[in-house]
Structure 1
Amino acid sequence: MVAKKSAYEESRQKRMEENKKRMEALNLHKLSQALIIPSPAKPSPMKRSKPRVVEKQVVVVRRSSRVANKPAPVFKEVVLDRVVIPRRISKPRNLSNRVYATDEARAKAIEKAEKLQSDLGPDHPIFIKSMLQSHVTGGFWLGLPVDFCRRSLPRKDGVVTLIDEDADEYQVIYLARKNGLSGGWKGFAVAHGLLDGDAVVFQLIKLTVFKVYIIRVNGSEQGNSL
């Protein structure tokens, strides 16, 4: 066994030497070195890019001839996601000329309105509203009594008519979900010079038609009714 193993080792050693000579003759060692792929170079750190500068421009829209003679509106720039949007600056309302009724004068106007309501009788639904600044200046929104709206007015938005003593009619938007008068109420209030403290009597003579009476806070009453 030892002799056989020595013979195998000698034969194996001989083959290895022959293979080595063949590799040297074919330059396989150099070829294997050439095939080794060098490791990639370490990337350079990312360069910080400079922020892009966006030029802001305000575009002046051509005005129609209808408003050409009016002073130009004042705008300020509002930047939203790098887009400049001109926005009209609303002028503050001058509230210095507001006239506020005293509690006593307001109570007297309501008392007279209740007397008028009694004189008009129970044939038609009636309610009284004491005017506030939000009703006659600024917002021009008139909230109506919720119970009255649920009992007597339609449950959908629509148009109601207000009639004054000269039989002039005013169309006003009624918002059922908000129980109040919106568009058109301003025109009515301004046309009739309503003031803070005036007591207004609304008499529903048809489904969406009111006869309206004003009790002035300054003392005049049915002579100035509507």
Structure 2
Amino acid sequence: MVLKMVASSYEDSRRKRMEENRKRMEALNLTQLSQFLRKLSSPISKPSPSKPRTSEKQLVVVRRSGRIANLPAPVYKERGYNMYTDYSRVYASEEARVEALYKAEKLQSELNSKHPIFIKTIRQSHITGGFWLGLPVHFCKQNLPEQDEFMTLIDEDGDEYRTTFLAQKKGLSAGSRRFAIAHKLADGDALIFELVNRTTFKVYIIRVNPSKGEDLE
């Protein structure tokens, strides 16, 4: 009988404490807070990845300008083509070069000139690109003007070609191209320059390949 009374008293006390705790939680708004926290702890569903947008590639026809639409397509020459002389580069052998130089030296001795004179062997750099023709430094210092000046080249037929002598660079620039093209100079040709007056050279050409030179002429 005593145990039943103790148990009943304990149960009444427990229910009373629970009721008091419930009232305190409601007063502090703890019930809504616990529900909010349960929502936050629930797993978040991730959105399904969207498929990448693909754009269809289309071929576009490039329109040519009306000014060039009817013109033929450009033709590109192989490397080594000389746009000025219209023939491919040909390099002389050392034997042919020496032979042409020997003939030039022989002709120089036969001229027996009293004027300053020298021999120049032609290289590819003299007849392609910029057509720059360098002259012997010692000859320039002793015989040519100290300032830039026009000089005339006269070939064996008496035709004259005006060039520009650059004193600082010791060579012929503008005008030497026209002379090289007119005489179809080739790698290995030997030229005799005879300074007949202060600004005029008489030029003799010894072909490295005489048969070819005759055909070109």
Matched, 1:117 2:117: no
Shift of 1:71: 7.8
- Relative distance call for 1:153 and 1:106 in structure 2 (3 A) is same
Assess if the C-alpha contact under 8 Å between 1:173 and 1:184 holds in 2: yes
Shift of 1:137: 1.6
Which structure has the greater CA radius of gyration? 2
TM-score (normalised: structure 1): 0.56
Structure 1: stretches of 5+ with no match in the other structure: 1-62, 64-68, 74-90
Assess if the C-alpha contact under 8 Å between 1:200 and 1:214 holds in 2: yes
Work out the CA distance in 2 between the residues paired with 1:118 and 1:150.
23
Matched, 1:178 2:163: no
Give the structure, 1 or 2, with the largest relative contact order (CA under 8 Å, sep 6 or more): 2
Amino acid corresponding to residue 159 of structure 2 in structure 1? D
Residue 162 (structure 1) aligns with = 153
Work out the CA distance in 2 between the residues paired with 1:145 and 1:210.
14
Work out the CA distance in 1 between the residues paired with 2:78 and 2:181.
16
Residue 205 (structure 2) aligns with = 214
Shift of 1:70: 8.1
Structure 2: stretches of 5+ with no match in the other structure: 1-66, 82-87
Secondary structure of 2:203's counterpart equals strand
Assess if the C-alpha contact under 8 Å between 1:204 and 1:211 holds in 2: yes
Off by >6 Å, runs of 4+ in structure 1 = 69-73
Aligned residue pair count = 138
Shift of 1:120: 1.2
Residue 141 (structure 2) aligns with = 150
Shift of 1:166: 1.9
Q: Deviations over 1:144-186 (max 9, x none)?
A: 0000000000000010000112211100010000000000100
TM-score (normalised: structure 2): 0.58
Shift of 1:138: 1.9
Assess if the C-alpha contact under 8 Å between 1:109 and 1:219 holds in 2: no
Secondary structure of 1:171's counterpart equals strand
Residue 51 (structure 2) aligns with = none
Residue 135 (structure 1) aligns with = 126
Residue 94 (structure 1) aligns with = 79
Identity of aligned residues (%): 61
Q: Deviations over 1:46-105 (max 9, x none)?
A: xxxxxxxxxxxxxxxxx9xxxxx98899xxxxxxxxxxxxxxxxx887305210000000
- Relative distance call for 1:128 and 1:71 in structure 2 (3 A) is farther
Work out the CA distance in 2 between the residues paired with 1:70 and 1:156.
48
Q: How does 1:30-41 map to 2 (within 5 A)?
A: none
Work out the CA distance in 1 between the residues paired with 2:175 and 2:182.
11
Residue 66 (structure 1) aligns with = none
Assess if the C-alpha contact under 8 Å between 1:198 and 1:215 holds in 2: yes
Would you tell me which structure has more helix in proportion to its own residues?
Answer: 2
Residue 195 (structure 1) aligns with = 186
What is the root-mean-square deviation of aligned Cα atoms in Å?
A: 2.6
Work out the CA distance in 2 between the residues paired with 1:128 and 1:147.
13
Secondary structure of 1:197's counterpart equals coil
